[in-house]
Amino acid sequence: MESDHADRVPPPDDQPPADPPADSDPVSREPHLTLVDAVLASSRAYDAWTANGGPRPQLPRGWEALWRDAVRRQTDLAGEPEEEARRSVQAMLDQLTRLDRAAGWFRTDRRLRERAIAETLLHGTGLGPAVPSRPAQLAWQRQRGLRPVDYAKIQAIAAAQDDWLAAWNDWAAIN
């Protein structure tokens, strides 16, 4: 399945890595959070680059290690084999990247963004399957199940995406 941000984030071997942000301390942070921050920053940089041009954005230093650490942590937290853990991490990143593009509150309200990230990670790792955003999490899973491009299902895919965003917007309105 194609990643929502795979076309936004160039492969690591295409360019030299950029330095990590000065305020990041990957050693003391949960690997999932470090990776989410890097992916969202890369996605935003890529979006800005495609809109405005200029030099191609660079990936943070240690990009591959960020992935490896998050997948390893996913296997520990969720008890998933490595390949399943990789898919789980990818699904969480895809949802958060899509949410960053689709929901204005995610970009503008730091408190809601941090809660949405935390709830997505809690749900995705299995540590908190009953999070308040559970309807949005389940809607994401449903619409991902429809993702393979089947033009006979295009209306169902669009409806599932609308349901997912509506569930997140409902969650944001009460939080």
As a whole number of angstroms, the distance between CA 158 and CA 147 comes to 10
Asked if the model's pLDDT at residue 16 lies above 70, the reply is no
Picking from 46, 45, 29, the residue whose alpha carbon sits closest to that of residue 121 is 29
Bigger pLDDT: 14 or 60? 60
Lowest mean pLDDT among 5-14, 48-57, 133-142, 161-170: 5-14
Bigger pLDDT: 165 or 159? 165
Bigger pLDDT: 41 or 26? 41
Q: Identify the pLDDT of residue 149.
A: 56
* Mean pLDDT along residues 101-121: 97
Q: Identify the pLDDT of residue 124.
A: 95
As a whole number of angstroms, the distance between CA 153 and CA 35 comes to 32
| DSSP string over the chain | ---TTTTTS--GGGSPPBPPPTT--TTTS-HHHHHHHHHHHHHHHHHHHHHH-SSPP-PBTTHHHHHHHHHHHHHHHH---HHHHHHHHHHHHHHHHHHHHH-HHHHH-HHHHHHHHHHHHHHHHTS-TT-TTHHHHHHHHHHHHT-S--GGGHHHHHHHHHHHHHHHHHHHHH-
Residue 174 zone, left/alpha/beta (φ > 0; ψ -120 to 50; rest): alpha
* Mean pLDDT along residues 145-153: 62
Phi, psi of 25 (to 5 degrees): -135, 85
Asked if the model's pLDDT at residue 172 lies above 60, the reply is yes
Q: Identify the pLDDT of residue 153.
A: 66
Type of residue at 43: S
Digit-coded pLDDT (tens) for 43-92 = 999 888 888 987 888 877 888 899 999 999 999 999 999 999 999 999 99
Q: Which residue has the tokens 């991490």?
A: 89
149 CB-contact burial (10 Å; exposed 0-12 / middle 13-18 / buried 19+): exposed
Share of the chain above pLDDT 90, in %: 58
pTM: 0.74
Q: Where are the domains of the chain?
A: 12-132
